[in-house]
């Protein structure tokens, strides 16, 4: 494709400090004609040229390497000899065993290399200049080609759309689709590139840090971690954390007022402005300790830069020590405040005027939790303190630039050490979750002790005049009074609109029937202790939870969590008081006593002393969730004995040894929180603990028998709305009190007056009307018994069934849907089978460059929710044998086949399973016969494969055994080399690579067929 001379576009003017534009107004769109993908690509490149990117035509690896040499010589002001260049490539830039992770580490942490030259001297060679970012040179290339096969080729031939080179290295890749095509197809295309060819040759495309996908109308960006999982799986390497491996983790770019910039033209003028792109690459990416690359979102960058600007302005204008030197950041719960605060602390600690950054949390558990998070972002970046004495030592040590502490430790230090040297230094204090604990005497004493400070606060729920309450110091009642003006806002409405957190679905369940004629109000009007703690009411609520738990937490559906596959999610139960929590726990124990152990919910409980428990549950209070201490010694004796007994139940369940001693309780808290996050416990009963500052993506339901309002309500609800995967689409709130007004008021306060329709799911009727219309359309246009002929019809079927699956995913949480489903179980199985047939046929590799149809988007994760397991099939086999007698039960036999066809993971095992069904004996244990059958078939098939391909038998069996143990094939390295027969020196070029690929394909098919069986 030829690129015409660039039109001239003035880049948007920004200050030297601003990466994100303050406000973006898009140009009115004048074009009305159809735009092809090629035309969209040409327009994009012209825009980049207008912003001083150099367009170069590089289509081969040789040309790419030659350009890289020129660019690195210019950046480092050096000339490499041919020998030096080859050594630099092999030693540093393109090592034979380096993958995406190695090259990401190189860009983020190890971008300068001490290179020994031919004459013995050493020269530091930089890949990128992070101090003076405009020394880096930006180029744009397009239609770069990778051939198939050979030593330097990919698994398949590919041609990439547009790539941004920084000093000759491909650091940003852009994949375009024409307008009208689903943007997720660009995402899927990049997935294929990473699996098939980014690693080919010298692997320079493994250096890509950021991906941009666009169909012209919609444009998003994400880091290389969001797609690294597929490459890791293909190569058999250890899996990365399963948190950002989906389209859900792509991000919109936006201006500073959080208005998304979705059109490619606007995105190019802002995100691809040279200063912005280089700042994102060099300052606003974080490589975590587990080697995930996080790229910050625009609102996080804005907040960070406004904190840094406020520090510099306050320093220059001598405002240190006043509220004018600080401010607060209002970013809603779940939007990534810890990452933002870390980056702000990290960059502030590097300012020449700053002596120390103090990150202050308000709970004992959070200083170590924050330490772990900071260590994940950068090992050793910050230091937590176990005592006031250690805090004093860390503050005096000039090498410890960032110190984490609790407000209580800091207040004790201020009281006990009046002359500490840190008080005279320039200190930046950053308060996490700046709630009420900072609005009292401790806040006053801290700000009096330090002389030259900037004071910043982060919060998801600020204290305004409307929700400040009546107590406390008159001049310290609101967040602004305590910290200064608001620096940036990102509300729950922004976060849900951007799909950075999930919306809520709320049920209000009436638990007290009012006498006729008394009032039509629900439980909120009846707040007497006697009514709310009545054993009958508590029994009814526990019975309701047990009856609806599987439905609300989606226990019929399964998904991948790390290395495990788990069913459904878990829940918290927020109660009004310690007494209520105790009664509920006892009721669960009683009602589950007759249920078999395997079917019981694993229920935990945690509470501690809170000074203002009664006030916290009052609807007249300020809405604070009072923090419970970490020392249960403040509890009355019956409550402490009850908690000890409950912890003993927990110890029996999980083989632990916790108790209510100070250290034992802290250990119990940590262990319980870990099991919540790992989905090992089903339900935890709490009073206030875990309702603020606790993140577990596996939580999807909050049962509420507690008066909540204002920021306390939003904080508690927000435990359920963290994004995990495509199965979890909303947070469930089930309230046994009428909190509808309080919910609407809180959403209006922390969102806006129109926020309710964004934050809460629509009513059942609206979803159901859409669902029923789509199902009627499906049944009319695609009857199960009529084949779907032609690509266009297949595309329409996939889109239609995908829409139905997404709606069913939401509707299953409504009680009414169970009786309102329009598709029978048989129809759903049949349609899933057809869906998977189309998916399998389109995924099948061909000799063409495109191996997957770009116009189809499949909801395979939603299909997996109703996954049929081998255990289920064996139950059907047992039924088949029991009912067959001397003849055949054709219905049960057909049911087995349909179940296999509807399962993504069993379809490739169909022949194996059906052959077993046909040969199963009339007597004997089905599971034992199955195991023996699988072992015999597996050994026979592997023996035949070894013979067919002349493989080394022992090495092949060891290779396969390791794959079954690890859950993936090791497709690179010495392990596969040991399996293959020696290569003949007389074989034509490429023959060995073709042989290796054929063997890997056959071993992969064998592995997929037998993995998880027997």
998, pLDDT greater than 90? no
Q: Band of the pLDDT at 909, cuts 50, 70, 90? A: low
Q: Does 841 score more than 50 pLDDT?
A: yes
Q: Is the pTM here over 0.85, yes or no?
A: no
Please determine, for residue 456, whether its predicted confidence score (pLDDT) is greater than 90: yes
Residue 555: the pLDDT is 85
How much is the pLDDT for 514? 47
Q: For 217-237, what is each residue's pLDDT tens digit?
A: 999 999 988 655 434 433 333
Question: What is the structure's pLDDT at 142?
Answer: 95
Give the pLDDT confidence score for residue 28 in this predicted structure.
Answer: 72
Whether 780 has a pLDDT exceeding 50, the answer reads yes
Phi and psi at 884, nearest 5°, equal: -75, -40
Please, what is the average pLDDT of the chain? Answer: 80
pLDDT in tens, 539-588: 989 999 999 999 899 887 777 777 777 888 999 999 999 999 999 999 99
- pLDDT (tens digit, 9 = 90+) per residue, 853-866? 444 445 554 554 44
pLDDT at 366: 53
What local confidence, expressed as pLDDT, does residue 244 receive?
39
Q: Average pLDDT, stretch 892-912?
A: 60
What average pLDDT does range 118-141 have in this prediction? 95
State the pLDDT at residue 490: 93
Strand stretches in 311-418, DSSP E: 327-331, 356-361, 383-384, 402-406
616 vs 444: which has the higher pLDDT? 444
Q: State the Cα–Cα distance between residues 703 and 689, nearest whole angstrom.
A: 14
Q: Please write the tens of the pLDDT for every residue from 407-418.
A: 878 888 988 888
Q: Which range among 331-345, 883-897, 914-928, 954-968 shows the weakest confidence by mean pLDDT? A: 883-897
* Tokens encoding 186: 């660009």
The whole-number pLDDT of residue 121 equals 93
User: pLDDT-based confidence at 766, cuts 50/70/90?
Assistant: confident
pLDDT at residue number 405: 84
Looking at the chain, which residues constitute the CATH 3.40.50.300 domain(s)?
297-490, 534-543+567-722+730-759
Q: What is the mean pLDDT of residues 824-841?
A: 77
pLDDT band at 248 (very low <50, low <70, confident <90, very high): confident
- The gap from C-alpha 489 to its chain's centroid, in whole angstroms, comes to 22
Q: What is the pLDDT of residues 586-613, one digit of tens each?
A: 999 999 998 888 889 999 999 987 544 5
In this prediction, residue 250 has a pLDDT band, given cuts at 50, 70 and 90, of confident
Range with the poorest average pLDDT among 261-275, 352-366, 367-381: 367-381
CATH number for the region 534-543+567-722+730-759 comes to: 3.40.50.300
Q: Under CATH, which number does the domain 297-490 receive?
A: 3.40.50.300
Beta bridge partners of 39: none
Among 547, 599, 557, 553, residue whose Cα is nearest residue 572: 553
- State both tokens at 530: 């006697």
Per DSSP, the three-state class of 347 is: helix
H/E element, 395: helix 388-396
Look up tokens 């007004």; give the residue: 741
Q: Where would I find the H helices in 683-750?
A: 710-717, 740-750
Spatial separation of the C-alpha atoms in residues 251 and 221, rounded to whole Å: 5
Cα separation of 248 and 76, whole Å? 40
Please state which of the ranges 10-14, 312-316, 419-423 shows the lowest mean pLDDT.
10-14
Question: CATH assignment of 37-58+139-148+155-294?
Answer: 3.90.1570.50
- Percentage of the chain exceeding pLDDT 90: 35
The answer to whether residue 239 scores a pLDDT higher than 60 is no
Q: Is the separation of the CB atoms in 487 and 307 below 8 Å?
A: yes
Range name among 70-84, 154-168, 493-507, 974-988 with the lowest pLDDT average: 974-988
The number of C-alpha atoms within 13 Å of 478 and in the hemisphere containing its C-beta is: 12
pLDDT at residue 16 in the model: 52
Nearest to 621, CA basis, from 691, 508, 511, 711: 711
- The confidence score (pLDDT) of residue 623 equals 54
Domain boundaries for CATH 3.90.1570.50 within the chain: 37-58+139-148+155-294
Average pLDDT over residues 426-436: 82
Per-residue pLDDT at 588:
97
CB neighbours of residue 486 within 10 Å: 16
Q: What is the pLDDT of residue 845?
A: 44
pLDDT for 610 equals: 59
pLDDT at 653 over 70: yes
Does the structure show a pLDDT above 70 at 335?
Answer: yes
Q: 671-713, pLDDT tens digit by residue?
A: 998 999 999 999 999 998 899 878 888 999 999 999 998 888 9
Find the mean pLDDT for residues 33-56.
Answer: 91
C-alpha 912/C-alpha 690 separation (Å) is 48
Residue 424: is its pLDDT beyond 60? yes
Q: Among 470-479, 490-499, 539-548, 567-576, which is the least confidently predicted range?
A: 470-479
């Amino acid at each position: 494709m030829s690129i015409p001379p660039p039109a001239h576009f003035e880049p948007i003017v920004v200050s030297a400090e601003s990466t994100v534009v303050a406000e973006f107004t898009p140009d009115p769109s004048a074009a009305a004609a159809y735009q092809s993908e090629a035309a969209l690509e040409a327009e994009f490149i012209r825009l980049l040229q207008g912003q001083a990117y150099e367009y170069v035509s590089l289509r081969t690896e040789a040309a790419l390497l030659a350009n890289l040499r020129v660019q690195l010589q210019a950046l480092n002001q050096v000339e490499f000899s041919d020998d030096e260049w080859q050594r630099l490539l092999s030693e540093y830039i393109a090592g034979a065993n380096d993958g995406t992770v190695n090259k990401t580490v190189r860009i983020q942490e190890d971008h300068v290399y001490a290179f020994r030259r031919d004459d013995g001297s050493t020269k530091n060679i930089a890949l990128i200049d992070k101090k003076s970012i405009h020394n880096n040179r930006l180029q744009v290339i397009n239609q770069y080609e990778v051939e198939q096969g050979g030593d330097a080729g990919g698994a398949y031939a590919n041609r990439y759309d547009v790539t941004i080179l920084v000093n000759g290295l491909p650091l940003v890749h852009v994949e375009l689709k024409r307008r009208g095509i689903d943007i997720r197809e660009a995402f899927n295309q990049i997935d294929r590139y990473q699996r098939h060819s980014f690693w080919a040759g010298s692997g320079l495309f493994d250096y890509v840090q950021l991906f941009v996908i666009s169909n012209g109308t919609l444009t998003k960006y994400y880091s290389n971690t969001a797609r690294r999982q597929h490459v890791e799986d293909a190569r058999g390497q250890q899996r990365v954390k399963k948190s950002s491996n989906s389209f859900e983790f792509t991000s919109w770019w936006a201006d500073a007022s959080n208005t998304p910039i979705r059109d490619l033209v606007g995105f190019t003028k802002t995100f691809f402005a040279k200063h912005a792109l280089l700042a994102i690459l060099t300052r606003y990416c974080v490589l975590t300790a587990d080697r995930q690359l996080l790229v910050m979102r625009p609102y996080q960058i804005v907040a960070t830069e406004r904190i840094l600007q406020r520090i510099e302005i306050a320093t220059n204008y001598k405002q240190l020590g006043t509220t004018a030197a600080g401010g607060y950041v209002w970013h809603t719960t779940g939007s990534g405040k810890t990452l933002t605060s870390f980056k702000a602390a990290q960059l502030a600690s590097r300012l020449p005027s700053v002596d120390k950054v103090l990150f202050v949390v308000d709970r004992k558990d959070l200083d170590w939790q924050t330490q772990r998070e900071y260590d994940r972002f950068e090992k050793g970046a910050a230091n937590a303190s176990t005592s006031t004495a250690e805090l004093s030592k860390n503050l005096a040590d000039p090498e410890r630039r960032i110190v984490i502490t609790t407000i209580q430790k800091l207040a004790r230090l201020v009281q006990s050490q009046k002359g500490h040297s840190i008080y005279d230094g320039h200190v930046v204090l950053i308060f996490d979750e700046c709630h009420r604990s900072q609005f009292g005497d401790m806040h006053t004493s801290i700000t009096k002790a330090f002389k030259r400070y900037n004071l910043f606060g982060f919060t998801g729920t600020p204290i305004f005049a409307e929700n400040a309450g009546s107590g406390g110091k008159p001049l310290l009642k609101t967040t602004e009074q305590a910290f200064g003006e608001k620096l940036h806002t990102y509300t729950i409405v922004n976060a849900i609109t951007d799909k950075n957190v999930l919306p809520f679905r709320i049920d209000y369940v009436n638990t007290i029937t009012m006498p006729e004629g008394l009032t039509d109000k629900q439980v909120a009007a009846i707040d007497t202790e006697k009514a709310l703690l009545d054993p009958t009411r508590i029994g009814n609520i526990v019975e309701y939870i047990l009856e609806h738990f599987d439905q609300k937490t989606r226990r019929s559906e399964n998904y991948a969590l790390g290395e495990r596959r788990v069913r459904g999610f878990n829940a918290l139960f927020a109660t009004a008081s310690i007494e209520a929590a105790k009664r509920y726990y006892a009721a669960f124990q009683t009602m589950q006593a007759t249920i078999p152990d395997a079917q019981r919910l694993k229920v935990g409980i945690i509470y501690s002393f809170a000074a203002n428990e009664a006030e916290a549950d009052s609807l007249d209070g300020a809405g604070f969730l009072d923090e419970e201490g970490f020392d249960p010694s403040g509890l009355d004796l019956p409550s402490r004995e009850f908690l000890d007994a409950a912890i003993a139940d927990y110890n029996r369940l999980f083989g632990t040894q916790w108790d209510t001693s100070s250290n034992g309780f802290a250990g119990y808290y940590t262990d319980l929180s870990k099991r919540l996050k790992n989905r090992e416990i089903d339900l935890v009963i709490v009073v206030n603990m875990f309702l603020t500052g606790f993140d577990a993506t596996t939580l999807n339901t909050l049962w509420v028998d507690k008066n909540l309002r204002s920021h306390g309500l939003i904080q508690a609800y927000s435990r359920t709305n963290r994004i995990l995967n495509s199965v979890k689409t909303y947070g469930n709130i089930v309230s046994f009190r009428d909190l509808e007004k309080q919910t609407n008021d809180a959403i209006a306060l922390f969102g806006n007056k129109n926020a309710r329709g964004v934050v809460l799911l629509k009513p059942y009727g609206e979803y159901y009307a859409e669902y029923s219309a789509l199902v009627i359309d499906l049944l009319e246009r695609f009857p199960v018994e009529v084949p779907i002929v032609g690509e266009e019809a297949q595309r329409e079927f996939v889109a239609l069934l995908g829409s139905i699956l997404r709606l069913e995913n939401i509707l299953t949480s409504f009680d009414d849907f169970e009786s309102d489903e329009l598709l029978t179980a048989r129809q759903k199985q049949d349609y899933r089978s057809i869906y998977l047939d189309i998916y399998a046929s389109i995924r099948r590799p061909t000799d063409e460059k495109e191996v997957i149809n770009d116009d189809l988007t499949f909801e395979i994760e939603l299909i997996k929710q109703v996954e049929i397991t081998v255990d289920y099939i064996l139950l059907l086999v047992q039924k088949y044998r029991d009912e067959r007698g001397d003849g055949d039960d054709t219905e049960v036999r057909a049911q087995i086949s349909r179940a296999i066809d509807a399962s993504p993971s069993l379809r490739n095992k169909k022949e194996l399973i059906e052959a077993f069904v046909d040969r199963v004996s009339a007597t004997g244990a089905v599971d034992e016969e199955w195991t023996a059958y699988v072992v015999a078939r597996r050994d026979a098939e592997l023996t035949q494969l070894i013979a067919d391909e002349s493989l080394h038998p022992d090495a092949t069996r060891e290779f396969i055994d390791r794959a079954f143990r690890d859950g993936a094939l090791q497709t690179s390295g010495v392990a596969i080399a040991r399996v293959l027969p020696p290569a003949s020196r007389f074989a034509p070029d490429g023959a060995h690579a073709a042989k290796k690929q054929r063997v890997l394909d056959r071993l992969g098919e064998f592995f997929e067929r037998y993995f998880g069986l027997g």
